[in-house]
Structure 1
Amino acid sequence: MKKILILAKLFIALLSFAQIGIGRANPRGALDINKDNDTNTMGLVLPTNSNVNNIINPLGSNVIPGTIIYDSTNDCVRLYKGTNAWSNCLSDTSCEGMIQTLDCAGATHTGTLTNGQAATGVSSVISYTGGNGSAHSGQTVASTGVTGLTATLSAGSFATGNGTLTYTISGTPSGSGTASFAINIGGQTCTLTRTVQNLTASVGSLTCASATFSPATITAGNAYTGTMTVPYTGGNGGSYPQGTAQVINGLTFRLQAGTLNIGSGNLVYTVTGTPTSVTTMSIPVSFSGATTCNVSKAVQLPATPPAKTGCFNIIYNSNSSTGFITQVTNSVAGNVSQRTSIPDISWCQTNVASKFNHMSIGTTTTWKFNKPVGFLGMTIDANGSTTNTTPTFWRNGVQVYPSQTHVGAFKCDTNIFTRNFEYEGVWFDEMRYTADRISITEICLDRVSKW
């Protein structure tokens, strides 16, 4: 029994000092995997991982110095050193330098990214720790999420210890939202994010004087459906929503949603409705609250006046241009007056008339109106005598010829003979009457239709 125990102790002692040979009878070290004739055709495959920080000690303590792996991210062999840090790449001298941590979340940003605009002066600075002082070759990373951007790090060297990396961002973002960059440098990874904001549409100037309408002609009283186009310069490419409707002279103007050109372009407004007056409209145009101007557009008369619509009392004010009749010439001084309680004899429900007394024989009296007239009721009173003279009508200095209708007897005053007429069918802004009888005492204009 004693001999057996001695032999067992000797065998254990031999094992304690033995070498292991794989394919070799006499190993030349603790582990020798070479064939006896050193003609190997297969190599050693090391444990592989994409990040050295994933390597653990199965016993629960720190990684043991001397541990070796293949770093698939940096494509090299790396060794865990006695300084409790992973070595630089061992396979060649051009491998990346190493860092311990990389802080994308705490990055500081310069510049602003805007949808549709090329990035200018935009960068992000990322802090790191545990730099080993070795060189890195830089990198270029394309954005995801919001695409179209590139983050570029120039080649350089890590600091020994803590430091920063500056990524310059270039390109034009494809939209608004978050642009993400997958940073992978010095054995560490993180995701850098930058916000891309919506572009606020703006223009440098509006050219209202060059605005156009389609169809080009707008006629009072006729329904209109078309567009107003206003040129601009200095557009920034931003998108804008539909504008608020504004109503001018019975027409509704509304800016349509769209996207500005970079530089020059046009704003398009829809125009709908029925214009109520013959006038020159002044249409205010504003964009982004900063640029304003006014478009001028004339509303034309219809080719012929509408039949007996829009009746107005005649008001003559010799002291103001606000009166409908703006001028009367060659009427006897002091005898231009307003009449009241004149009975109505036609379709127009009015009881106000303008009375012009005591015209001299052979004298022409002229009435001028501040707006085009399409219908006029007129009464001539004479002291028991007839008159053959009829008025003449003019538009912009050119004589026009309305139709004349005799509508029966009517007296401006208590005179004996009265002639009452209505004139319509063409537009006019002036009436002239030449007296052919000294006995003509009054002319009353008592009904009118105008724009």
Structure 2
Amino acid sequence: MKKTNLLPLVLFGALAYGQVGVNTSTPRATFDVTAKNTDGSSAEGILVPRLTGDALFSAIASNSYGADQNGAMVYVTAPADVSNLTGQTINVDSVGYYYFNADQNVWLKMGGGNNFYNSDGTLSGPRHVTMGGNNLGFKGGRMGVGTLSPDPSALLDLTSSTLGFLTPRMTKVQMDAIFHPAQGLEIYCTDCFPGNSVTGCKMINDSSDPLVPNWGSMCSSNIATADVFNIDCGSSSTAGSLFAGSSASGVNTTVPYVGGNGGVYLAGSFASTGVSGLFANITGGTLNNGNGNLVFTISGTPSSAGTANFGITVGGKSCTFSVMVNPFLATISTLTCGSAVFSPNAITQGQPYSGTMSIPYTGGNGGAYGQQQFSFNGLTFTLPSGNLSSGSGNLIYTITGTATSAGSMSLPISFGGQSCTVPKTVSTGGGSVVMCGNSKAWATHNLGADTSLDPNPSVMTKAYHGNYYQWGRADVVADADTPSGNISGWNTTYASDGAWNLGTEAAPVKTAIDPCPSGFRVPTRSEWVALVNNTTSNTIGTFIGSVTNFGAARQFTCAANGNRLTFPASGYRNLVTGELANRGNFGFYWSSTEYSSYGASLFAFNSSSVYPADSLSRPYGFSVRCIAE
């Protein structure tokens, strides 16, 4: 009897007209496979086709997988070779289940193997992670953002040519509230610099003590606004004395502070209370990092004796210090300004002066008085604090500065209930003569020489030599009395072109740092040449190099008018050390004309020759003879 297998017919009917169940009579899906045994006594499951990744790659050539195979599933037993990771099999790089996505024309991996922990991938959109108070740590490796190859020296390498890196941004209050900040911690403070147009800056804590942070600015364009922990007015100290009705002079109060942040504070003026009429003035400056002192200059005239109180505010902290004002008890009967004596007597326009003015008085009561000071015509007159003599005496003022104008001065003096005016004449800085070849008058003395002396002596002395100047600078670097050795701090920097002449050689214009007095300037090279070419000259004294030889000079005579100019052989000061050389053997005199980027023209001579247009390096110290503007 012939046997007939009915299973295919049954399966065909089930597939055609209903659902198929394996090991179940009630399938719950189109194809429902139920385990035959659940105790592990037999192998269960569904075996899909098993292929290698290279086999799938070979199928690309025959177009085996297309739209009709969308969703087909296989199990890859071995990944495709690296050279075959392309096209449909670009993702078939490991063992596992894959399904065919016809829309993308690619095999896609299924299951837990497809995650960023063990393979590369692409996020389809932003992802947000809430830490929930937990930490996310990356241990034992380097991280790159914007690069697949972080630098070997970097734990974190952020790479971009269009984007930057933002540190956490917060206010100063929030920064200061960070609990135990670590050394090197960085933030961006949005309001740490309220005094600047740009208030924010990156800050770093450079303190190794987390209990005492020290936040420092990393911005070159921002300077920290002053901030202190405390200002101690109770420990203030005052130098100098105040007297009722007498202008404050030479009175300063020092106030200590603690916890400075190295920030900048602005100038300020704080009016007094109690005794009115006074002001505590502070110039702008920079706090120390830590402790320091604030110095206030007291100005004004106190209205009465008593206590002057000053409420000050610096670095966000305020306090009040007090200064006693003494009664002004010093009185005199007469003050004789017409008998005032100046020592030294001569005050010359444009030349530094340091001396005294003594004014006699009678009827002094022995009372104390405070320092008094006033300025007039570029000179500062200071009467130090002291006590009057009982009876007759002298008020002795120190005088410093440089008189800006020549002519008569009337110096107002008021003291102890008496007032008068001291007359004094400021000389023009010596004579001047017009020489052949020049329409401008030449000064008859070296700059800094004693202008009261005969400008053309038969015997030259030290008083004629005057000062030494570096080219392009107004400062006196030495004079005839300066020791001949090296000068500490000698400036070896070349002055800039145009330092002594803002015009041209033919039409010179005097600069603000030209050392010559008002109405005069340093001559040009062409003016020296014209002087030498249109005069005759002879020597005076013995030409021999010696630090003590002040007697050598060369004299130039204009035949047309008989005028003469005499130039001492003052030698020079070395360009590197400032040491004196060749006094009594050479004369060197600057012109205002540049010769090169580092040199300048000069007039020079010795016993046998004259060099009207020589040149040397600008840091040398030479004499200066001025010519009228």
- Regarding TM over 0.5, the answer is no
So what's the TM-score if we normalise by structure 1? 0.30
Q: Which has the higher contact order (CA 8 A, sep 6+)?
A: 1
So what's the TM-score if we normalise by structure 2? 0.23
